[in-house]
């Protein structure tokens, strides 16, 4: 990651700017008052197991961006009747009848685009943070974290293109196309794609601004990064200057198979958190299952959060619904290779560490030689009976 911090700064700044532009004239300044979403019950939030005295009275979950369907498990814990505070960038409410509350914090500009592992060591009130595998490895030397559950099994990151200009069926075809590939400088997956010959150095264009503007201006003669659960639908339906389909390849299918949002604790707090995590992790697993089975209540809440926190990305009901369908169809949310949702494949983590070490070494970013899968993830708190 470039150094580690720069990736997040660039990602947050350009994405925020670009997504604001996509909002058009409907965007207004954020309200600083707290508002409450319309009450709608959710089964995940109806948890009756007492967490009082076992977990923190207020369980703080630090997310890595604004409120979107990819991060919905955290919002499902609160349910659809949570309180939005635009000034603080939070969505909070009681966790069913457990006796504790959950406070979901937005990332990006609300934390100065600080990497989540670093933020967890800066702000001691954070109980869980959304930490991707590459961020965990890159930050391990200074800010070690241990992920305890993974609501997303596959990274939704993609490279997309206009099928009217390019015929691409495999990753090797991306290099053969000779198209410029526009991306955010410092993303480690791009280093990996170059190392595999899937993208050539001549194709690299690290000037991505977070919007479809350059892609549209080029008439689709560029390729660029995106999310399978975001850009393809939005660009076809919500970008008047384009409004037609694009095609894409998942970065995961290139062999860069990180877990994008593991819910992690600080490694130095793992042991002390065990009693809470034993009860809380299954609730997070069930929250993701409940969301996928009945996404509309929390999707409606995501729309309301966006309506209150207006400087975030454009969020619509149709796009949210499509995001859930896409995540299920592509197995971004899935049981993985077994019958359990939310657990980690330790062999996959080990392989990913092997992929990441030379990338970070080339950037003079220290990664301990002895780092192993068990240092950054654990399945100790997973309920293996919970699945889609």
pTM: 0.87
Both structure tokens of 333: 């949310």
Higher pLDDT, 108 or 249: 249
pLDDT (0 to 100) of residue 97 = 94
Both structure tokens of 158: 């993609």
Both structure tokens of 33: 């008052």
CA angle 78, 233, 223 (to 5 degrees): 120
Topology (CATH level 3) of domain 157-254? D-Maltodextrin-Binding Protein; domain 2 (3.40.190)
pLDDT per residue over 284-336, tens digit each?
A: 999 999 999 999 999 999 999 999 998 888 899 999 999 999 999 999 999 98
Report the sign of the C-alpha dihedral through residues 316, 320, 326, 331, in that order. positive
| Domains in the chain: boundaries | 4-153+259-376, 157-254
Both structure tokens of 31: 């309200």
- pLDDT tier, 120 (very low <50, low <70, confident <90, very high otherwise): very high
Question: Would the CATH topology of 4-153+259-376 be identical to that of 157-254?
Answer: yes
- Based on DSSP, count helices (H) and strands (E) in the chain, helices before strands: 13, 13
- pLDDT tier, 211 (very low <50, low <70, confident <90, very high otherwise): confident
User: SS3 of 192, please?
Assistant: helix
Rounded to whole angstroms, the Cα distance separating 173 from 166 reads 9
In sequence order, what E strands does the chain have? 34-36, 58-62, 83-85, 90-94, 101-105, 128-131, 145-149, 157-161, 181-182, 204-205, 223-227, 247-250, 262-266
Bridging pattern class, strands 101-105 and 90-94? antiparallel
pLDDT per residue over 233-279, tens digit each?
A: 999 999 999 999 999 999 999 999 999 999 999 999 999 999 999 99
Whether domain 4-153+259-376 has CATH 3.30.70.890: the reply is no
Q: What is the 3-state secondary structure (H, E, C) of 352-388?
A: HHHHHHHHHHHCCCCCCCCCCHHHHECCCCCCCCCCC
Q: Which of 270, 272, 267 shows the shortest CA–CA distance to 368?
A: 267
């Amino acid at each position: 990651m470039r150094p580690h911090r720069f990736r997040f700064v660039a990602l947050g700044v350009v994405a925020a700017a670009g997504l604001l532009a996509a909002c058009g004239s409907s965007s207004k300044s954020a309200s600083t008052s707290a508002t409450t979403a319309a009450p709608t019950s959710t089964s995940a939030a109806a948890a009756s197991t007492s967490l009082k005295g076992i977990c923190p009275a207020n369980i703080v979950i630090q997310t890595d961006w604004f409120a979107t369907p990819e991060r919905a498990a955290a919002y499902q814990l609160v349910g659809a009747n949570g309180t939005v505070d635009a000034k603080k960038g939070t969505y909070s409410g009681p966790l069913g009848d457990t006796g504790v509350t959950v406070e979901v914090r937005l990332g990006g500009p609300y934390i100065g685009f600080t990497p989540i592992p670093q933020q967890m060591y800066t702000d001691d009130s954070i109980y869980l943070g959304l930490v991707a595998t590459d961020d965990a490895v890159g930050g391990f030397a200074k800010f070690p974290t241990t992920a305890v559950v993974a609501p997303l099994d596959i990274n939704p990151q993609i490279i997309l293109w206009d099928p009217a200009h390019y015929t691409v069926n495999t990753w090797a075809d991306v290099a053969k196309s000779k198209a410029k590939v526009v991306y955010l400088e410092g993303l480690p997956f791009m280093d990996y794609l170059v190392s595999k010959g899937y993208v050539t150095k001549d194709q690299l264009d690290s000037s991505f601004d977070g919007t479809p503007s350059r892609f549209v201006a080029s008439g689709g003669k560029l390729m660029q990064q995106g999310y399978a659960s975001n850009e393809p639908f939005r660009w076809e339906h919500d970008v008047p200057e384009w409004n037609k389909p694009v095609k894409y390849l998942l970065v995961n299918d290139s062999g860069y198979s990180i877990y994008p949002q593991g819910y992690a604790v600080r490694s130095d707090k793992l042991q002390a958190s065990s009693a809470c995590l034993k009860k809380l992790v299954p609730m997070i697993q069930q929250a993701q299952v409940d969301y996928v089975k009945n996404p509309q209540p929390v999707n409606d809440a995501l729309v309301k959060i966006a309506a209150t926190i207006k400087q975030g990305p454009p969020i619509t009901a149709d796009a949210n619904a499509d995001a859930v369908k896409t995540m299920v169809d592509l197995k971004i949310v899935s049981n993985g290779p077994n019958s359990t949702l939310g657990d980690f494949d330790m062999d996959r983590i080990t392989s990913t560490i092997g992929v990441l070490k030379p990338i970070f070494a080339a950037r003079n970013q220290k990664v301990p030689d002895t780092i192993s899968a068990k240092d950054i993830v654990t399945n100790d708190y997973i309920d293996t009976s919970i699945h889609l």
